[in-house]
Amino acid sequence: MTPASPLAAAAPEINIIPFEPAHIEGALRLSQEAGWPHRAEDWGLTLSVSRGVVALQGDEVVGTALCSLFGEVAAINMIIVDARMRGRGLGRKLMQAVLDIASPREQRLTATEDGLPLYEKLGFVVVGEIIQHQGIARAAEAEEPVQVNAPADLAELAAMDHAASGMDRRDLIAGILKTGELLRAERGFALLRLFGRGKVLGPVVAQDAATARALIAAGATRAAGEFLRIDLPDWALAPFAESLGLAHVGGGTAMTRAARAAPDTDYTTFALASQALG
């Protein structure tokens, strides 16, 4: 038998433990190395509505996985493995840990190209495409009236969001409203907040496309001259996003596992809160 090298023998064991706020600094390093735009504050918002795990080698964070719990739906997100640790099955171990947290809820995620094969092996199926647009926002006239930062009725907003998505995200909406802006139309709402390189607009929840366009136009106007991102669940509003200075820059694959019946509703999610949070 070939003896292990001194370096291999000295490498600390990798332990998977619950994700705590103290791990955000190490998680931020991983997301930056992966080319993701998240700030520590963005990690904090996601963690505030999530449970999850980190992989530690010694005191160093070398992997992360979160499960955001939204009633009968769990959003699986922030699955990152340190590039030095890939090919060792760590990603699968992290995924299994958060799937155990999520069960028996419906599980949703947005897959990167690299992660897609693993998620398919774990029983996730493709249900759509997420289209990411971003750029320097341009002001535009809304098709219908939109109020900015009107008094928020959290229960009403959460009910509209739940009707559109099937997710109970009252706590997430409340968290965003602490520092973000509410855009309110007669038949829908949108949230605008700081994220990554600038701002993100989402979710955008509305009863029709005209209302969604009005909310998106109002969001772009509020962010005019600044970097703005929006993640769309289909291509219907992609040309409109382009007209506001937000170029198509990629996206991800929407996947689900243990899916439940879609709600019967007049509301639609026209833009995601984020790829992580649905």
Report the CATH number that the domain containing residue 174 is assigned in CATH: 3.40.630.90
Average pLDDT, the chain: 94
Whichever domain contains 53, its CATH number is 3.40.630.30
Domain that holds residue 142: 131-271
Q: Is residue 277 part of a domain?
A: no
Q: Is residue 119 part of a domain?
A: no
Report the C-alpha gap between 215 and 229 in whole angstroms: 14
Interval 225-260: pLDDT, tens: 999 999 999 999 999 999 999 999 999 999 999 998
Residue 39: closest CA among 53, 48, 49, 28? 28
Q: What's the pLDDT score for residue 5?
A: 35
Q: Are residues 228 and 155 in the same domain?
A: yes
Report the C-alpha gap between 223 and 190 in whole angstroms: 13
Report the C-alpha gap between 278 and 276 in whole angstroms: 6
Q: Is residue 59 part of a domain?
A: yes
The H-assigned helical ranges of 150-230 are 154-165, 170-177, 209-222
Q: What's the pLDDT score for residue 263?
A: 76
pTM score: 0.93
Among left, alpha and beta (phi > 0; psi -120 to 50; other), residue 206 is: beta
Q: Are residues 153 and 87 in the same domain?
A: no
Q: Are residues 141 and 267 in the same domain?
A: yes
Report the C-alpha gap between 203 and 190 in whole angstroms: 6
Interval 167-191: pLDDT, tens: 999 999 999 999 999 999 999 999 9
Number of compact structural domains in the chain = 2
User: Which of 60, 88, 104 is a domain's end point?
Assistant: 104
Q: Is residue 239 part of a domain?
A: yes
Give me the DSSP letters along 201-257.
EEEEEESSHHHHHHHHHHHHHHTTTSEEEEEESSSTTHHHHHHTT-EEEEEEEEEEE
